[in-house]
Amino acid sequence: MYYYVNDDTKLTIDQVYACLFNDSFNSYYEEAIALVKKELVGLDYGGCPNYLHALRMGSAAFHIGDMAGDVTTAAILHDVLEDTDITGNELSGMFGEKVWALVDAVSRKQGQTYFEFIQQVIDAGPGAIKIKLLDINDHLFYKENINESLIKRYVKAEQMLKAALEKS
């Protein structure tokens, strides 16, 4: 299983986890890592603490290397607006407007269908698309723990996102 952004960019789970023990990753993203460890409680699809999903996302973005600091920070924080009481204004104040805009772009709004949400991600551009692709890949890594209809939805969204990324 790979974390996949495009045909040229595939990461193994070992590469993703290795980054979590990289001192430069941990020091540069210290504030974002501390926030998700504090705020994202509970378990993810794989039965791991939720914040590990956020750290795997940031690690994958960091490891790919073409994702600037703001995109990697947003990858770490991608679930914060949906899954915590932190507001967009608070997030913007802590991490800046660009990080907030990316996190907002990859956050599903109340009342949105899933594919309206995916179009919102596409409209936000390559940074948001890459974050969402990594998110889908991380969820699919644990596909034995999610139902078939959700897997199908993720696969369709992944195809849409890859096609949009190729056009950008």
Q: Which residue has the higher pLDDT, 140 or 143?
A: 140
pLDDT in tens, 16-32: 666 666 666 666 688 89
Determine which helix (DSSP H) or strand (DSSP E) holds 129, and give its type and residue range.
helix 126-141
Distance CA 8, CA 57 (A): 18
DSSP type of residue 49: B
pLDDT in tens, 69-119: 899 999 999 999 998 999 999 999 999 999 999 999 999 999 999 999 999
- 36 Cβ neighbours under 8 A, 6+ residues apart: 51, 54, 55, 76, 77, 79, 80
pLDDT in tens, 36-68: 989 888 766 567 778 888 888 888 888 776 556
pLDDT range class, residue 123, cuts 50, 70, 90: very high
Q: Is the pLDDT confidence value at 5 over 60?
A: no
Distance CA 2, CA 10 (A): 6
Name the nearest CA neighbour of 102 among 123, 76, 127, 83.
127
Name the nearest CA neighbour of 77 among 122, 152, 127.
127
